[in-house]
Each structure stands twice: as structure tokens, then as C-alpha cells.
Amino acid sequence: MTASAAIETVALEDRGLAVTWADGARFTFHPVWLRERAPSEETLDARTGQRKLEAAFLPRDLAVTEARREDEGAVAVGFSDGAAVRFDGRALRAALAPREQVDLVGVKQLWDGALGGFPCYDLAELKQGAPLLGLLDDLARLGCVLIEGVPPEKNGILEFMGLIGNIKLTNWGGVEDVKVDADAFDLTLTNRGLEPHVDNPYRFSTIGYVVLHCLANSFEGGESTIVDGFAVAERLRREDPEAFEALATTPVYFRYQDETTMLENLRSLIGLDSAGRVERVAWSNRTEFVDARPAAELERYYAARARFAELLYADAMTVTFKLQPGQAFILDNYRVLHGRRPFELAGGGNRHMRQGYFDRDMVSSRQKVLRRQYGG
């Protein structure tokens, strides 16, 4: 056992349990915190780990009345309500680590156009399990990963998506076509270029991950453009903190509507977590309609938005590549923007993509289960 996990002494303190570890760390655990996670059948269900006991109904003056170090890895604790429980020292020590990542696990590497390209995995190899964890770790790090060896047929992408989990169903269904449609309900279904954007910020539960699969891409043009929204947001924060602040605090309205659907959402273009870190970028010029606000406020907003757009659209921030039939990419729709260059409908070519979505937690769940299995 490492020094950090070896219990040296235990003592009663402030109705709770004071533990000192061999490396000098010391912490006093609250009696209710200990009692409500006691590894006993009356408190936690053995199979699911879910809690059976309601801490709200424990005596308000609950106290630890007895504590005995059994060995360096365990402590026996008695409570004033009669419960007697043995705690694992490793679990107690692990509980002191700050809990920050509930999403995909991994340090993000921010990038710009100099990155040049993204890691690529072969579908046949991903079926082994461990490489799939590699893909998800790269997805956490860079926000975009390529897959090859995906059958360029109608639902050829489902095998890959099934390795991760269930796809997200939307008002359009599951995996849907992205190709030129004379009756386009969305500008995606035309041959115009698409500016960098995230998909569907108008959904109250925004798309977590986008998967785009190429069946044909033989027209001139039609390259994919990928931008790290977090890198751009951090650059804006450094270079123009007032603009960053305006985009992080101005609520913006996103909307999609057709005959049977009305989707709307209100959020800022840059979303921050409680520690002020960039958590989400929402950029979709086609569906954004900022509310009428006082002119001075909008002046500030539009100036900030213009600076943000300049950076998002800059070639220096963009990685460009042309998907080939049998290739696909998966990207983090909270972080990475995607777009495409225009293409010419001439010369008897064809451009046919299919796309599907995942909810956020489906992907992080698969990564965590694989980490449990393969370590990491």
C-alpha cells in the first residue's frame, strides 16, 4: 500500500472521525457523511451500490462514538445510532480528491490549424475494445477523431455507433442523409458552403456528439472544416477580455422550426462552468436570433461577436480535410465547430454523407466502462 493510502492514526473529533495518513495528510469526516455511505446492507444495496438509507432522517446529533484502526488499510467505526461499520482506508483517502470531471475524462489539448489532422482508427480494430478506449481518450483530448473502414452504404455507420452506445433520436429520426435536396428543409441540404457551426444549439438538450459518415464525395470542393471552439474562446479571453465577458453573459435565442417541429433554446455563445472554465461554445449563425436589447448592449454584443467570428473563421485556426467514402468523424459538439467548403454540382459527381448523434452521457459512459475494463 502506498504511503498516501496507509492509515496511521484515527481519533474522535467534532462528533466525526479524524484520520491521519502515513504521508501526513489529515482530514475529519462528518458523521453523517460517513454514516450515509457505510458499506453495509442496511445503508447501500450490495448489487447496485444505490442508497437505501435516507440521511435526512438520521438523528441530528449523530456522532462517531468509537474508532479503531484495524490495520493500515481499514478503520472500524461505531455510531451513536448503534451502527458499526468498517471503512476501507483507500476509499476514504480517494474521497478527498476533488471531483471535477463527470464528462469525458482527459486533459484537453487546445489546437489551431497547425495541428494539421486528427487521429484515425480503423473500424475493424475498434471492435477489439482497447482501441475504442484510445479513440474516446483522443476525443476527450482533441474533440475530433476520424474512423476509416466504415462500409460506404446507407446504414454502414451504425456498426461504429453501436460500439459506443445508442444513438440519439431527434425529430428527423436516427441516422439521416446529408446531401443536396431540391426541397431542402435546412441549408445543410444544399451545395453552399457551411460556415463553422455546432449542430442544433436550439435543442434544450443540445447534441453531445456528431458523427458524419461519407458514402460519396466526388464533386469538386466539399472539404470538411474543423475549428477548436475552446481554443478560440481562450484566445478571445486573452486578447479581448471584455468581448469574452460579453459573449459569456449575453443570452442568445436559437430556433428551428418546420411544419411539425418547434425547437428553441436560450443560452450564451460561450458557456462557462462554476469555476469560470469554458464548458461549451454555441455558434450557429443560421439559427441564432439575439433578442432586441438596448442599443448599447447590442453594440457591445455585436462587436464581441464580430471578433469571435473573425477568429472562428480564420484559416489559421482551421483544420481542413476531405472525407473519403468509407471514412467518418466523430466530434465533440460542445467544443468543436464544423463546416464545409462549397462544392460544384457538375461533372456527374456525387456527395452523400449520413449523420447521427449521441447524447453527451452515452459517450462518457462508454469511456468510463472501458477505463474500468482496461485501466487508464
Q: Which residues contribute to the site for Fe ion (CB under 5 A)?
A: 199
**Residue closer to Fe ion, measured from CB, 199 or 228:** 199
Residue nearest to Fe ion (CB): 199
Phi, psi of 235 (to 5 degrees): -65, -40
CA dist., res. 79 & res. 64, Å (int): 5
Between 164 and 210, CB nearer to Fe ion: 210
Least CB distance to Fe ion at residue 318 (A) = 15
Smallest gap from residue 326 Cβ to Fe ion (A):
20
Minimum CB distance to Fe ion, residue 210 (Å):
6
**Smallest distance, Fe ion to C-beta of residue 197, A:** 6
Which residue's CB is nearer to Fe ion, number 126 or number 167? 167
- Closer Cβ to Fe ion, 199 or 332, answer by number: 199
Pick between residue 4 and residue 355 the one whose CB is nearest to Fe ion. Answer: 355
Q: 221 or 376, CB closer to Fe ion?
A: 221
The region, left, alpha or beta by phi > 0 then psi within -120 to 50, assigned to residue 58 is beta
Residue 75 CA to residue 6 CA, distance in Å, equals 11
- Least distance in angstroms from the C-beta of 338 to Fe ion: 6
Numbers of helices and strands, H then E, in the chain? 9, 21
Cα(12)–Cα(143) distance, rounded to whole angstroms? 48
Q: Are 119 and 363 in contact (CB under 8 A)?
A: no
- β-strands 278-281, 144-148: how paired? unpaired
Min CB(146)–Fe ion separation in Å: 16
Distance CA 272, CA 291 (A): 21
Shorter beta-carbon distance to Fe ion: residue 21 or 343: 343
If you search the block for the grid coordinates 442599443, which residue do you land on?
295
CA 99/CA 102 separation, integer angstroms: 8
Tell me how far apart the 2 most distant CA atoms of the chain are, in Å.
84
Judge contact between 1 and 73, C-beta under 8 A: yes
Report in angstroms how near the CB of residue 48 gets to Fe ion at its nearest. Answer: 38
In angstroms, the Cα distances linking 320 to 199, 213, 308, 355, 358 are 18, 16, 19, 19, 23
